[in-house]
Amino acid sequence: MPQTALEDILRTKFESLGGYIHLDCQYLGCSQSGNSVNVTVQHRGERVTIAATYLVGADGHHSTVRTSLSIPFDGDVYPYSFIVAEVTVVEWPFGLNAAQIYTSLDGLLICMPEPGKHRFRLIANVRDAPQLPSLELWRCIIARRAPGHACFEIANMHCSNRFRIHHRIARRYRAGRIFLAGDAAHVQSPATGQGMNLGIQDATILARIIGDAIYHGRNSEHDLDEYQRICQPRAQKVFGLTHRITLGMTLTNPVLCWVRNMVMMATNSLPMVRRKITRVISQLDL
Ligand SMILES: Cc1cc2nc3c(=O)[nH]c(=O)nc-3n(C[C@H](O)[C@H](O)[C@H](O)COP(=O)(O)OP(=O)(O)OC[C@H]3O[C@@H](n4cnc5c(N)ncnc54)[C@H](O)[C@@H]3O)c2cc1C
């Protein structure tokens, strides 16, 4: 299911429970006193201060909340850039719902279909990618990385961008009454499609902990730290796997590529291993 469709489902559910999302509101900063957080936001051109019991910074990779708390974001950036595009594919040689990962000496190419359409999301690693990768560049990459029988044509490009991938985890998930969740707390390679899933797990666990604090008075330092005790090791576990898969998929040494392909073929032919991988990737094993 595409992330946009899932976001619509979550938004509808949230609103049906009485929540309201202010899309025109920008977080500027906050200060903490004994039992509240004073949050300053820019709302329709005006600065407004909100007194809240807790604040959750779920404001993404470049989180202003995390930065304003000076919480270190430990990790690194991969040495190559990635490019991503939404394209219309013609002559797709597989089922229209079948994603494909191509690994070659030239690099990685991932093709993810939007179910039921001829529209695909393509991701590739490129050492020195231009900021706005052209249709020609994508055609070149497909010709080099998708072998003969699995090759395909693209007709239209709807958007195309370059991005760098970081793998980082916040050293602390909480400062007083302020929590970090989602990409604000951890970012990783999209190679295994785990980022949003981890963020949803953060939200589920944090909702329970904040609910317990507000409604049952379980608000000691130890109670609130349960969030980091549960969620940070989960993120570290997923990161270890994603990092190894990202390195494996972007190998350029011919011998190592051959070993990787042999291992992938062997594991793919064992139903037990395939089931295990499915459980790990879907985070049912966390
Ligand atoms: C190419 C690519 C493919 C991916 N594929 C997958 C996948 O298949 N599966 C998966 O699980 N994950 C995937 N991910 C990861 C996933 O997209 C992210 O982990 C997820 O979007 C993080 O959600 P988030 O809400 O924490 O942060 P974001 O999606 O970054 O949302 C943060 C929000 O905060 C807002 N914001 C920022 N600053 C402020 C401020 N000062 N005031 C108010 N609002 C602010 C932003 O506007 C934004 O709306 C992929 C990522 C990439 C780059």
Candidates 55, 164, 183: which one to mutate for ligand 1, based on the most atoms within 8 Å of Cβ?
Answer: 183
Q: How many CB atoms are closer than 10 A to CB 205?
A: 16
Q: How many CB atoms are closer than 10 A to CB 244?
A: 12
Question: How far is CA 138 from its chain centroid?
Answer: 23
Beta bridge partners of 31: 38
- The token duo for 213 is 């604090």
CA distance 262 to 181: 38
Q: How many CB atoms are closer than 10 A to CB 132?
A: 11
Res 84: pLDDT: 92
Q: Is the CB of 202 under 6 A from ligand 1?
A: no
Q: Is the CB of 64 under 6 A from ligand 1?
A: yes
Q: How many CB atoms are closer than 10 A to CB 109?
A: 21
In terms of DSSP bridges, do strands 36-43 and 46-52 run parallel, antiparallel, or are they unpaired? antiparallel
Could you give phi then psi for residue 60, rounded to 5 degrees? 80, 180
158 CB contacts (<8 Å, ≥6 apart)? 85, 86, 87, 88, 119
Q: Is the CB of 107 under 6 A from ligand 1?
A: no
Q: Is the CB of 195 under 6 A from ligand 1?
A: yes
Res 96: pLDDT: 75
Rounded to the nearest angstrom, the distance between the alpha carbon of 128 and the centre of ligand 1 is 24
Tell the residue nearest (CA) to atom 38 of ligand 1: 59
Beta bridge partners of 156: 88
Rounded to the nearest angstrom, the distance between the alpha carbon of 57 and the centre of ligand 1 is 12
Closest approach atom of ligand 1 to CA 182: 26
Residues in the chain: 286
DSSP H helical ranges for the chain: 3-16, 64-68, 135-145, 195-216, 221-224, 226-249, 254-268, 271-281
Q: Is the CB of 123 under 6 A from ligand 1?
A: yes
| Closest to 155 in 3D by CA, of 127, 122, 109, 128 | 122
- The token duo for 121 is 């999301």
Terminal CA-CA length for the chain: 21
Rounded to the nearest angstrom, the distance between the alpha carbon of 60 and the centre of ligand 1 is 5
| Closest to 120 in 3D by CA, of 145, 103, 142 | 142
Would you call 99 helix, strand, or coil by DSSP?
Answer: coil
Closest approach atom of ligand 1 to CA 121: 1
Tell the residue nearest (CA) to atom 34 of ligand 1: 59
Q: What is the ipTM of this complex?
A: 0.95
What's the maximum distance between 2 C-alpha atoms anywhere in the chain?
A: 66
* Mean pLDDT, each 10-residue run in order, the chain (286 residues): 81 95 94 93 94 97 96 92 91 81 86 79 89 95 87 90 93 98 94 86 97 96 97 93 86 86 80 77 70
Q: Is the CB of 193 under 6 A from ligand 1?
A: yes
Q: Is the CB of 42 under 6 A from ligand 1?
A: no
Tell the residue nearest (CA) to atom 3 of ligand 1: 190
CA distance 145 to 61: 30
Res 88: pLDDT: 92
Rounded to the nearest angstrom, the distance between the alpha carbon of 169 and the centre of ligand 1 is 15
What domains sit in the chain, N to C, each tagged with a CATH number? Answer: 19-72+171-246 (3.50.50.60), 76-165 (3.30.9.10), 253-281 (no CATH)
Which run of H or of E encompasses 283? none
Res 2: pLDDT: 66
Tell the residue nearest (CA) to atom 51 of ligand 1: 190
Are 178 and 31 within 8 A, CB to CB? no
Closest approach atom of ligand 1 to CA 25: 43
